Amino acid sequence: MKKYVITGGPCSGKTTMIYAISSRGFDVIQESSRKIMKKYGIHPKTNFNIFQKTLMKEQIEIEKNLEKCNFDEVFLDRSTIDAYIYAKLGNLEYPKEILDIVKSMNYDKVFFLDMLEEYKPDHERWETEETARHVGNELYKAYIDFGYDPIDVPVLPFEERVDFILNRIE
Query: How many distinct structural domains can be found in the chain?
Result: 1
Q: Which of 16, 10, 26 is nearest to 82 (CA)?
A: 10
Q: 152 lies in which domain range?
A: 2-166
Instruction: Tell me: pLDDT of 11 over 90.
Output: no
Residue of 74, 138, 136 whose CA lies nearest to 105: 74
According to the model, what pLDDT value does residue 119 have? Answer: 67
The pLDDT of residue 125 is 59
Distance CA 136, CA 130 (A): 10
H helix or E strand, kind and range, residue 75? strand 73-77
109 bridge partner residues: 4
Find residue 152's DSSP bridge partners: 112
pLDDT of residue 38: 83
Q: How far apart are CA 112 and CA 114, in angstroms?
A: 6
Residues 6+ apart with CB under 8 A from 148: 107, 110
Structure confidence by residue, pLDDT tens digits, 124-135: 656 778 888 999
- In this structure, the number of other CB atoms found within 10 A of the CB of residue 130 comes to 9
Q: Output the pLDDT for position 124.
A: 60
Whichever domain contains 90, its CATH number is: 3.40.50.300
Q: What pTM, to 2 d.p., does this model score?
A: 0.91
d(CA 152, CA 167) in angstroms, rounded, equals 13
Residue 147 has pLDDT above 70, yes or no: yes
User: Helix, strand, or coil here: 4?
Assistant: strand
